[in-house]
Amino acid sequence: MIDYIKGQISELTPTCAVIETAGVGYFLNISLPTYTVLSGKTETKLFVYESIREDAHTLYGFVNQTERQLFLLLISVSGIGANTARMIMSSYSAQEIQEMIASGNASALSSIKGIGTKTAQRIIVDLKDKILKVVGGGTYMQNSLININSELKEEAVSALVMLGFVATAANKAVDKVMKEHPGLKVEQLIKQALKLL
């Protein structure tokens, strides 16, 4: 089994990356948070999950082992395939997904495309105890994803300050929106924060 691939990023899209190492280009399926982390980089190290079936040999890449572990937990749930797991991981950060499962938030999970209420409940029933064990009650936070969130917050707050709002008020508004609506893009975040100011 391939544990990780380290090399030059020769191609990058929101759904896949081609990593070249020793003259071989490996095509890896990735999630949106992974794409965000890789954007602007020329080389990387991605942890790998290999899906080997009779008709296909597919590789999935993750920025760290925690993301890969979460992916493996998701595909262990009956009815969740690798593509559905990737869709879940593209909709929210790994930390947010862990918190949803740990807190039993089925409505947030079922808002993801392709996940119905029954599937969301099954994910929670099957994985709640495992997630709590892995993340110690949901307090474990991934550095790379924290960085993405803090960059997003900084961008939104500075845009609001440029629009004439006081920094402390902008900070509070952005924090509130990020807490209530995780996974928003910066433009959506600013629009929602404006409603609170």
* CB neighbourhood size of 167 (10 A): 11
Phi-psi region of 39 (alpha: psi -120 to 50; beta: other; left: phi over 0): beta
- Please give the single-letter amino acid code of residue 27: F
Q: Rounded to an integer, what distance in angstroms lies between the CA atom of residue 20 and that of residue 12?
A: 12
Domain 143-196 top-level CATH class: mainly alpha
Residues of the chain with CATH 2.40.50.140: 4-62
Give the length of the chain: 197
Q: Rounded to an integer, what distance in angstroms lies between the CA atom of residue 84 and that of residue 90?
A: 10
- Give pLDDT tens digits along the chain (197 positions): 789 999 999 999 999 999 999 999 999 999 998 999 999 899 999 999 998 888 888 999 999 888 898 999 999 998 898 989 999 998 888 888 888 888 888 888 888 888 888 999 999 999 988 887 665 444 444 444 555 577 788 888 888 888 888 888 998 998 888 888 777 778 888 888 898 88
- Alpha helix segments (H runs only) across the chain: 32-38, 65-75, 82-91, 94-103, 106-110, 117-135, 143-162, 167-180, 186-196
Q: What pLDDT is recorded for position 142?
A: 46
Inter-CA distances, 12 with 1, 35, 42, 135, 174, Å? 23, 8, 10, 30, 30
| Fold (CATH) for 65-135 | DNA polymerase; domain 1 (1.10.150)
Q: Is domain 4-62 annotated with CATH 3.30.750.200?
A: no
Inter-CA distances, 193 with 30, 156, 160, 171, Å? 30, 9, 9, 9
CB distance 60 to 27 below 8 Å: no
